[in-house]
Amino acid sequence: MQDPLSPVRIGYCLSLTGPLAGNSRSARLAHDIWREDINNRGGLLGRPVELVCYDDQAQASRVPGLYTRLIDEDKVDLVIGGYGTNTILPAMPVIIERQRFFVGLMGLGVNNALAYPNYFAMIPTGPDPNAALTEGFFMLAAEQTPRPTTVALLSADAEFSKYPILGAKANAEKYGFRIVHEATYPLTTENFVPVIDAVAGSGSDLLFLCSYLNDSIGLVRAIHAHPFRPKMVGASMIGPQNTAVKAALGPLLNGFINYEYWAPVPKMMFPGVQEFLSTYQARARDAGVDLLGHYMAPLAYAQMQVVAQAVEATGGLDDANLSAYARGAIFETVMGAVRFGTNGEWQDPRVLQVQFQGIAGGEVDQFRNGSRQIVVSPPGFTSGALRFPYADALSAR
């Protein structure tokens, strides 16, 4: 019989070391803050909450064994998904075999092929995640005068870029843009001048980028230094969401457009988000994580709110009951109201496109509010106007 005072143990893994450590450690701090908050309110089902987190070292091969250990040896009450497709997807065979309730964090299209009914995605890309991540960029381009007509697709040669590129191709066709150049580059690339030379040779109006942390920095620097000036540039870069990357690039980011999931603008000040971020930011420096936490932290905290609300609503820890409840409920989170739909994705997509404007120097404080990251799409969350074309946005203040 379960001891009524024993902790509710929630198990998972994160990439606390390796190339994904920055975002994963930010999520870990958000999870710890949630644990403290829920325990200060009496825990779950009147029991304290304990988190059991292992480092998967960003190695997909380690993930199945870690979840097997969590379930069979640690005997955790609940499991949640770690950060990103590359580590959530390899957990799925174990989760499906054990029929566990599973809320993943920022996995893109994890359940597209599996269609596992007990999986839920804490990422606002909606029922068509490939398209939603990139649609705002193409929709904005189609609204400009004179209207751009061509696009170049440039991406890192890595697993994570596959789905955004599929979405970009679909959106290029939907909005009537002709693809005139498509290329990949190794993640180890250091000199991006030849890569941008090749894009410039295509004369494309739009430059769509799907990049990771270090290569995002290299690409921004190379594009800024190059005479080639596409009308719009950016869209699907992983990196500029990170405070350290913003500070490192500073005004070189001006004019770039990129996706975000949350931004510190008035229309996204959902109940509790500012209070949570104030706590996070007060502890971020000592924890050695992203100083502002705008990208990862609200979604990670919301992930735990979904779990908690399902437990409280069902009055227990039964995976089948939790899953059935999550399929029909509306969850109130620091990311706003969340309802899950097809394949456990958000029923309504909420991917932002922001344009960096007016950045001066590399001071972090300028990014604390929304004055340097203007939400330009979707219409319901905009905080300012797009500056078009890119060449004009570079020098505008």
pLDDT, average across residues 241-265: 95
Average pLDDT on 86-115 reads: 95
pLDDT recorded at residue 4: 63
181-200 average pLDDT score:
96
In angstroms, what CA-CA distances link 312 with 30, 77, 90, 100? 20, 14, 29, 17
Q: What is the pLDDT of residues 62-90, one digit of tens each?
A: 999 999 999 999 999 999 999 988 899 99
**Which pLDDT score is estimated for 394?**
87
pLDDT at 257 over 90: yes
Q: What is the pLDDT of residue 85?
A: 86
Go through the domains of the chain in sequence order and give each one's CATH number. 8-126+269-344 (3.40.50.2300), 129-263+352-395 (3.40.50.2300)
Answer yes or no: is pLDDT of 230 > 60: yes
pLDDT at res. 1: 44
pLDDT beyond 80 at 3: no
Q: How confident is the model at residue 396 (pLDDT cuts 50, 70, 90)?
A: low
Give the mean model confidence (pLDDT) for residues 301-312.
98
Residue 294, CA distances (Å) to 8, 33, 170 in order: 28, 15, 29
Per-residue pLDDT, 163: 85
Give 384 or 397, the one with higher predicted confidence.
Answer: 384
Average pLDDT score over the chain: 95
Asked if 293 and 271 touch (Cβ cutoff 8 Å), the reply is no
